[in-house]
Chains A and B, each alone.
Chain A
Amino acid sequence: MNLSLLVLIPTLTALALLFCKGLKQVRSVALIAAVVQFVMAGILLCNYWNERTSGNSEQMLFQYRATWFAPLNIEYFVGVDGISIAMILLTASVVLSGILVSWKMESMSKEFFFLLIFLSAGAYGFFISLDLFTMFFFLEVAVIPKFLLIGIWGSGKKEYSAMKLALMLMGGSALVFVGFLGVYFNTTTSTGMHTFDLLKISQMHIPLEAQKIFFPLVFVGFGIFGALFPFHTWVPDGHSSAPTAASMFLAGISMKLGGYGCLRVATYLMPEAAQEYSTIIIVLASIAILYGAFATMMQKDLKYINAYSSVSHCGFVLLGIGMLTKTAITGAVMQMVSHGLMTALFFAAIGMIYDRTHTRIVAQLGGLLKVMPFIGTVFFIAGLCSLGLPGFSGFVAEMTVFMGSWEHVEIFYRIATIAGCASIVVTAVYILRATGQAIMGPVVDKHHLELQDAKWNEKFAAGILIIGIIAIGVAPFWLNDLISPSSEIIMNKILSVATDYTNYH
């Protein structure tokens, strides 16, 4: 299977969009592109299973390499393992549902869909690349469209949020790049050149001194994408100002770039430093989880509620990575997928409500379930998933993280785990309160009685995400089987150096 198609198809559609005329043409091209991406992600999953069941135990499948800048030994090098496939599936679902939700986008629709599709190309490229330079290239491709998406089509203080988001994320990627350079210059291949090749670097040993300097750079850099406390401040502003589809992309895809990078690059390539800094990561992640949860309690705007709860939920991802056990890492990846689907669904529901009521303030809403049963239910499902009800993906993912964390017996890890568990109670409080006020109860505003329920496109959009959430929630083993062999490889690398590391001290 040719992985480059995942980048090529969105890029070509984005270019094709530029030549489209009229809203109809634009959105049908965009929709076709999204469906094709979705189908391709499905085919990729099937092919992957086939290869694995037929006994192909290579770490990365469907590899393809081409020399890019020979003097610097930069390659275009792609390949996937279970973790990347999970992220690609997530991306494809969010893209499809995001396009469907924006069906009614009328102002500058061509540019809007162009940027959405272009962003997805960056995200796919990031998840499949195995060369650090290629990876960095795609990481940055996925940032700037967001600036325009939020700044042009957003609401509220959109210019401020767009600028803040762009600068913070680019700041993150600047740190990442310095870290990458540090890794690069500490590698030597058989030909005497340095290399950006992720697989080759993972076979080498980066000197401990270098790891100690460059791990924080890479981890914090990616952490900014993944809402690492205290660099999470772009999340609430960015999400709340963004148009619906952009919010979905931000929460569903962009924040996952960070978690994936922390795991795949920082932890995997610099395992000793990961152990060295794991306590700090755990502390920051726990703060993010609790702080995010409590901050959400104080919010009155639905989008802010979801944005702050994202900070809290993404804290679980970083907590899982910081714990450095196989189960916790698997849980972290599952949490990424689950959170991506769930927040995208949440933002889709909020967007649908906002399109109709023109308000997102909880107090001005009420009784929406009676007026708009479908949208109300979608909101309700997203809420239940967010608070970790069994049967939905959130429960499975968070449970896995907790189980993985509990494998550590030291009191420090226990406290962090308990703090994480405690946040679920807070989550329940704010979710139930928001749902109770906005969805249940009497209708507050008389005008709301005349509102229409969801259209076909919105139903489809929500349907895709809900199927994903339930598929993971009811039958988590397939996702687990997909991810855990890959997280085992990462874990083995960490364990293999763990013994050296204790000897070293």
Chain B
Amino acid sequence: MHLTDVQLNEYLDNETPERAQIESHLSSCDECAARLTALRALFAEIESLPELTLSRNIAARFALSPSLPAPLPRWLTLTATLQAALALIAIIIAAPFVMNLLPAIETPSFTDVFVQIQSQWIALLDILSQIQMPTLPEIPVIELSSLVITLTIAGVSMLWLVGNGLLLRNQIK
């Protein structure tokens, strides 16, 4: 009694609970062993197909920039974190000394600063009002017929369409 095709298929697929019995039969039956070899060769042939390359880059449709910026190296992230922690500690230590020094420094009030800015702004406006602007030459009025205007608009539209068509040609592909 020979092995069935189902048994041979399941054996090669590692999907049978009767491996030991099948192997025992195969060791004593040349015909079944030959059938198994042929099936194994078919598997190898099916799986031998080479990978083909794409003729277009699908990723281009999704990616806005050509390459993805690599993440920061771990050492740099750790150094930056350490620096931030040290800076925070330095601020905490320095805070009492700075608080002692603050009353000694005379700071102008908000009103003083506002009045100063306002007076400077008024002075700037005065300077600007004294500037004489040169008189512009009169622009001759060109009378265009409706035909010329229509043709110009049509021409510009055509240029716009052709230009955009050329720019988007690769995207449409």
- Co-complex (A, B): no
